[in-house]
Structure 1
Amino acid sequence: MQTRFDYGRCRLPELLRQSKMTQQDLADRTGYPKSNISDWIARRKKMSFTTAMSVSRVLNCHPEDLYEWVITIKEP
């Protein structure tokens, strides 16, 4: 059986609300430009794993919480 994980919707807007932070706050605390954060939310770009680690530390969540995940399972 093969399992594949693909990026779904970016959950940053709700995680930022829960943390009472703005995109600019996240940019200031991570060092990533606000334009990158906007691109992640709009799905123009995807976060690398190392970026997700940095962002998740600031938001006090797990890296996998930053996105909804689309899981595809293929039977042999």
Structure 2
Amino acid sequence: MYTVGRCLIRDWRQKLDMTQEELAHISGVNRSNISKYENDYSKPELKNLKNIAAVFNCHIEDLYEWKKSRRTQSR
């Protein structure tokens, strides 16, 4: 099983030498929301994730780190 880790939007954006303003303009996502996502102050809606992933030409899953979690056994 996996859990969602750190948001990687900033990493993707910086790889493309793109500002938050540029990403906002291209994706149609408000710049302040992008900042909130990058700083883990809020979680993006699915439609915003789709738009951001389209800009980066990646899958939504690529926008986050994934951590393997240990399964807990219930008794």
**TM-score of the aligned structures, taking structure 2 as reference length:** 0.81
Q: For residue 71 of structure 1, report the CA deviation from its aligned partner.
A: 3.2
1:59 aligns with 2:56: yes
User: Do 2:36 and 2:42's aligned partners in 1 also have CA atoms closer than 8 Å?
Assistant: yes
In structure 2, how many angstroms separate the alpha carbons of the residues matched to 1:9 and 1:46?
11
Which structure has more strand as a fraction of its residues? 1
Deviations 1:14-50 (A, max 9, x none): 1012222111101011121111000001101112222
In structure 2, how many angstroms separate the alpha carbons of the residues matched to 1:42 and 1:17?
14
In structure 2, how many angstroms separate the alpha carbons of the residues matched to 1:26 and 1:63?
15
Match of 2:43 in 1: 46
Between the two proteins, the alignment pairs up a number of residues equal to: 73
Runs (4 or more) in structure 1 with deviation over 6 Å come to none
Percent identity over the alignment?
A: 33
Q: Which deviates the most, 65-74 or 8-17?
A: 65-74
Distance verdict in 2 for CA 1:70–1:49, change over 3 Å: farther
**TM-score of the aligned structures, taking structure 1 as reference length:** 0.80
Unaligned 5+ runs, structure 2: none
In structure 1, how many angstroms separate the alpha carbons of the residues matched to 2:70 and 2:45?
23
